[in-house]
Structure 1
Amino acid sequence: MAGPMHYSLPLPAFDTPVKLLAVASPYYKDIFDQQIAGARAICDQAGVELEVAEVPGALEIPTAIGIAARMSNLDGYVALGCVIRGETTHYDTVCNDSSRGLTLLGLQGLCIGNGILTVENYEQAAVRAQADGQNKGGGAAAAALHLIALSRKWGRTGKPVGFTATTLAKGGDTV
């Protein structure tokens, strides 16, 4: 018996160009190459150009996305990397903290597709990363595009992320 069928939403269409950034760790270079290939294929299907920024590891991905969000005019982000369980608890730290960082950025309004693989061994990573297979890089790109489409539908563009200056009740000065 075959496993359960997975449904994928059709890719959204956009009236205006989309600026998408993949922040990726090439720590496992062949996994990285497959994730990027999968993300690019999905972006090509949607008519979206994908820019790629490389960081050393999965822990740096949320930080780089946060920096890009504050300093650029990108519409969305794709987080790509791979964490393979080792002999220490470092695996748990990297998985939990990178995921938490991305979730917090998403809750602030960023459109992020999370494609950071968290696996037990290299073979699992290779199967999940394969661009003509499970294509988790492509799935993360599609997730980011769907979130961008929703944010455009709901009309909340240009909303600041993080701390912003506020007006004081008394003198009207900003802090």
Structure 2
Amino acid sequence: MAGHETHHTLPRPEFDKPVKLLIVVAPYYKDIADNLVAGAKAEIEAVGGTWDVAFVPGALEVPTAIGIADRRSNFDGYVALGCVIRGETTHYETVCNDSSRALQLMGLQGLCIGNGILTVETRKQAEVRADVTGQNKGGGAAAAALHLIALGRKWGASSKGVGFKPPSESYQIAGDKNGPSTA
């Protein structure tokens, strides 16, 4: 059983400026969602960060809410939480694949997202994964978002805002055989 395996966990990142995350949760299975949210909040608070929570009807709406928030707000990162338990139809595959794919695509566009949408076969599996004193997948999703925020801050300043990015230290004019000039 996966719950008995050990794995490496990165140390918590440290921040010199505050971080604010949006936790987007689909509370279809409310008790499981509540545990996921509790784990995420605790992890964010452990690094001195703040959070806000938005609720959506289901896992398919989580990426859309994150996209709206990214366009209209100023969060540093996002935590996607919910639970999909396999049923008798193929709807399970659609919800799991489409929500995960949308989150991944937004991540590839530069959003810092921790995906804590559980995709399980049984309710018992979900309960074990959501348990804050157990696998704490909500805390793990928040930790993933925090690590991505830390990397983004390490590698460059925020690109949000109005105006143009400042020119680099050097530039090269097309066709210039002498190489880059210094500004």
Shift in Å, 1:107: 0.6
Letter in 2 for 1:137: G
Q: In 2, Cα distance between the equivalents of 1:102 and 1:156?
A: 23
Residue 94 of structure 1: aligned partner: 95
Q: Which runs of 5+ in 1 are unaligned?
A: 161-175
Displacement after TM superposition at 1:154 (Å): 0.5
Structure 2 counterparts to residues 144-163 of structure 1, below 5 A: 144-159=145-160
Structure 1 104/156 Cα, relative in aligned 2: closer, same or farther at 3 Å? farther
Q: CA deviation at 1:40?
A: 1.0
User: Partners of 1:66 and 1:39 in 2: how far apart?
Assistant: 20
Amino acid across the alignment from 2:120: V
Q: Which runs of 4+ in 1 moved over 2 A?
A: none
- Please report how far the alpha carbon of residue 156 of structure 1 lies from its aligned counterpart in structure 2 after TM superposition: 4.2
RMSD between aligned residues: 1.3
Provide the rounded CA distance (Å) in 2 between the counterparts of 1:130 and 1:6.
17
2:110 alignment counterpart: 109
1:69 is aligned to 70
| CA–CA separation in structure 2 for the residues paired with 1:84 and 1:105 | 24
**Please, what TM-score do these two structures have when normalized by structure 2?**
0.84
TM-score between both structures, scaled by the size of structure 1: 0.88
Structure 2 unpaired stretches of 5+: 162-183
TM-aligned CA deviation for residue 3 of structure 1 = 4.3
SS of 2:54's equivalent in the other structure is strand
Structure 2 equivalent of residue 51 of structure 1: 52
Task: Show the counterpart of 1:143.
Answer: 144
- Name the count of aligned residue pairs: 159
- Counterpart of 1:5 in structure 2 is 6
SS of the counterpart of 2:80? strand
Question: Which residue number in structure 2 is paired with residue 165 of structure 1?
Answer: none
Q: How do 1:125-136 and structure 2 match up within 5 A?
A: 125-136=126-137
Matched residues, percent identical?
70
SS in structure 1 at match of 2:69: helix
Q: Would the alpha carbon gap of residues 32 and 3 (structure 1) be closer, same or farther in structure 2, given more than 3 Å must change?
A: closer
**Greater Cα radius of gyration, structure 1 or 2:** 2
User: Which whole-Å deviations, capped at 9, do the CAs of 1:57-104 have from their partners, x for residues lacking one?
Assistant: 000000000000000111000000000000000000000000000001
Residue matched to 1:39: 40
